[in-house]
Amino acid sequence: MSTEPRRFSLDQWQDPSRFAVRLAPAVFVWLWSTGFIGAKYGLPYAEPFTLLLYRMLATLVLLALVAGWMKSRWPSAKEAAHTAITGLLVHGCYLGGVFYAIQDGMPAGLTALVVGLQPLVTAVAAVIVLREAIAMRQWFGLVLGLVGVSLVLLEKMGGTAQVASFPLWTLLWAVIALIGISIGTVYQKRFCQGVELVPGAFIQYCAAACLFAAGAFAFETRVVSWDVQLLLAMGWLVLGLSVGAILLLMQLIRRGAASQVASLFYLVPPVTALQAYILFDERLGALALCGGLFSILGVALVVVKRAR
């Protein structure tokens, strides 16, 4: 066997497909981090389930056109049922929980902190359900990422005084979001591997739309103030998040281990903090910067394979 060291080839980076695979996690983190900003701009003009219902309907129209143009293969009845369950978890529970937690007065930073437990919950579920082997180095990375998220959000919250400004039962919405996105990630990896991305996303959004429609008609007035700010926020939530980020997430889950993909969510709070600094001039202190570095290091320990 040759012991000659592996040489670096420029072709590896000139190949567009390989470059896209390497760039995909960074693009996903940036897209996902804009979700809280879109929700902040849109919620003043519509109630959570109503806003999410319109978002799902607009996304379904767009995905139907894309699926028809691509002549996509639709899944079997059994695959469609599993895909619908994934949609209820990843979109219905997660988005509904996050939007209602913020609507009911829970600080966005604290909401993100609760949902930031997702990589740990997903890793445990992946070990139990998928029998994924997670090395001690990766467990350490998951915990380190959680510490980083906590440091970033601790500074953004400015202490714990905000906890008393909302009913404690509101925390249940954030927990629902956490459980939904965690179990949904593992369920997608276990049961929906053979489903094409666009038809799969269409079925997921159909299931989520039914859930949001039931919630909107049962608990909300369904009154919408069609302001320009709402239309711009809705456009980004549909194109950037519901189409771009979700399709990219499904592709990442298909290519990698569920626990490794979930660890990317640790990078969302630091990236969100950076965008808040650029858009709203929210300063980043030493605590947030250290937290961002911890999150990056934690993700690196989880997703980077140890060289043999």
In angstroms, the CA 234 to CA 39 distance is: 9
* Token pair listed for 96: 């509904």
Q: How many Cα atoms are found within 13 Å in the side-chain-facing hemisphere of 187?
A: 19
The number of C-alpha atoms within 13 Å of 143 and in the hemisphere containing its C-beta is: 7
Instruction: With beta carbons less than 8 A apart as the criterion, state whether 287 and 157 touch.
Output: no
Q: What is the pLDDT along the chain (308 residues), one digit of tens a residue?
A: 444 444 434 344 344 556 556 677 778 888 877 877 787 788 889 999 999 999 999 999 999 998 888 888 898 999 999 999 999 999 999 999 988 887 887 766 667 667 777 777 777 777 777 776 777 777 777 777 777 767 766 665 554 444 445 676 777 898 899 899 889 988 888 888 888 888 998 999 999 999 999 999 999 999 999 999 899 989 998 998 888 888 887 778 777 655 566 667 667 766 766 666 676 565 556 776 677 677 667 766 665 554 44
Name the residue with tokens 């029998």. 131
| Rounded Cα distance, 306 and 204, in Å | 35
DSSP label at 89? I
Contact 87, 208 (CB under 8 A): yes
Q: Which 3 state secondary structure label does DSSP give 107? A: coil
**Among 90, 91, 109, 248, which residue's Cα sits nearest to residue 165?**
109
Closest by alpha carbon to 222, among 89, 27, 29, 54? 54
Task: With beta carbons less than 8 A apart as the criterion, state whether 153 and 210 touch.
Answer: no
Give the count of alpha carbons within 13 A of 56, CB side only.
Answer: 26
CB within 8 Å of 268: residues ≥ 6 apart: 29, 32, 33, 112, 116
Q: Residue 60 and residue 212: Cα distance in Å, rounded? A: 14
Q: What is the pTM of this model?
A: 0.74
Which DSSP string corresponds to 170-212?
GHHHHHHHHHHHHHHHHHHHHH-TTS-HHHHHHHHHHHHHHHH
Token code pair at residue 128: 């139990």
